[in-house]
Structure 1
Amino acid sequence: MAELPDLTVFAQILSRRFKGKTLKEIEVKVAKKFKPSSSEVKSALEGKKLSTVSREGKTLQFHFAGEHVLGLHLMLRGELKALEKNATLPKHTVFAFHFSGGEGFAVVDILKQATPTLNPETQKSPDALEMGASYFTDLLAKKKKMVKEVLMDQKLMRGIGNSYADEILWDAGISPFSIANTIPDKEVKTLFRSLKGVLEKAISDIAAENEDELVGELRDFMKVHGSKIEKSPTGGKVKSEKIGGRTAYYTDEQKLYS
């Protein structure tokens, strides 16, 4: 699943490539995923100029002239594929944007779960990169859940998924099994710095690697999250265990608070 760093870079690339261009056609292949209907989305957006593309939590937000916004959640397996002029749509396309000049992109999803929503509601929880230290500190102090579950809860903070939760916790030296409200204040501050630092570094690394190409999620920079990673950069053996149905990767270098 694409997480905050990948989606931030996708938004930057899409803005650079298509900002100011007119959306000539939305070619729909899987109409049932559109909210509201695909015909209503087409009526609202076709013929409008794309103003910019941003990221909100785990969604991409396409802002069009006339104040309409299309939110796109790629879900578990959704991908973006660039389209050249007169290109054949890739297999498993959910829908495609065709812009003035002939270029565009397709949303591809083998599971057909990627969901476009016209004018999505504003979410109450803060974006992970925009929340303040006091919010984060107060949040952890109230939660008796495992800290990894807190980091991944989109109702508490938006954008962090399974992969980057592991990376953030390893960077902070905190076990994913730690109970959030037992973590000492000093370590909470460390965790907050790691959260910001890991995400910002990932955005920088992915942007440098992708340049202007939509090449999908990148996991090349992961330190512990991944079934093929045997040791952390500091030599700790990488272990794995399920937390909330998702595989957590960690090492014994990370301190457990309970």
Structure 2
Amino acid sequence: MPELPDLEIFAVNLEKRFKNKTLEKLEVIVPKRLNVSETELKEALEGHQLQAVLREGKTMQLHFGGGNVLGLHLMLHGEIRLVEKDDQVKFRIIEFHFKGDNSFALTDFQKMATPTLNPEPSEVPDALSKDFTITYLKELLSKKKIQIKTLLMDQHLIRGIGNTYADEILWHTRISPFSIAKAIPEKKVKDLYQGIEEVLRKEIMQLTRAIPDSFNAEVKDFLKIHNPDLKHSPTGHEIKIDKIGGRKTYYTDEQVQYNL
């Protein structure tokens, strides 16, 4: 599943390819994934230029002329696929045809990827937004008796961090994923806050160089710990695998577990 750094790159690359192009035709293949009628969606977007593509949490948001925004959530297996003339693209949810034979499709073999017209603004801070402050994180952790990895992945608390980068951030800060949020000492909360930005921004920088034109390739080459092909961390410790909330969790004994 694409996570914050992947989606940041996809959004930049999508904007680079389609910005200022006029959407001539919108083809809806799976209308049940829409939050409005197909007619309403077409009336809102067709004939307008794509002005910007931004990432918000785990969604990409396409900003069109006329003041409308289309949010795209890839879910677990969704992808953005370029569509060349006469291409037979499988598993399409929705397809965008821009002036000048420029097209792309949102695809998902599970048919779960979701287009949302004018999504409601979220009050939950994005992990890389100015609203995500050290004060917010301290107050959040002080109230929660849940495992820290569960907290980091909860999109109702912090938007953007998923399974992979929760593991990467916690290893980077040497905090066990099994630690109870409320038990983490203040100094380590500060380390965690700084680690979130450092890990995510460094990955974005590395992916910018690795996939400068991609809309769907997930590159795992830069991961330090959340990778089944790795047996040891960069510091030589054995990587262990367990499950938290049904998701695989990668960690080492370097990480300190804090309990109440």
The match for 2:163 is 162
RMSD (Å) for aligned C-alpha atoms: 1.0
1:24-173 alignment to 2 at 5 Å? 24-84=24-84, 86-130=85-129, 131-173=132-174
Aligned length: 257
The unaligned stretches of length 5 or more in structure 1 are none
Give the C-alpha shift of residue 135 in structure 1: 0.6
TM-score, with normalisation over the residues of structure 2?
Answer: 0.96
The match for 1:9 is 9
| Identity in percent | 52
The match for 2:252 is 251
CA distance in 2, matches of 1:89, 1:73: 22
4+ residue runs over 3 A deviation:
none
Contact 1:89 1:106 in 2 (8 A): no
Q: Provide the secondary structure at the position in 2 that maps to 1:164.
A: helix
CA distance in 2, matches of 1:158, 1:13: 21
Deviations 1:153-193 (A, max 9, x none): 10111000000000000000000000011111111111111
Q: Provide the secondary structure at the position in 1 that maps to 2:140.
A: helix
| Structure 2 residue identity aligned to 1:24 | E
CA 1:89–1:95: 2 relative to 1, 3 Å: farther
The match for 1:224 is 225
The match for 1:198 is 199
CA distance in 2, matches of 1:38, 1:59: 20
The unaligned stretches of length 5 or more in structure 2 are none
CA distance in 2, matches of 1:221, 1:215: 17
CA distance in 2, matches of 1:141, 1:3: 26
Give the C-alpha shift of residue 215 in structure 1: 4.0
Contact 1:166 1:224 in 2 (8 A): yes
TM-score, with normalisation over the residues of structure 1?
Answer: 0.97
Give the C-alpha shift of residue 151 in structure 1: 0.4
Contact 1:5 1:199 in 2 (8 A): yes
CA distance in 1, matches of 2:19, 2:117: 18
| Structure 2 residue identity aligned to 1:46 | E
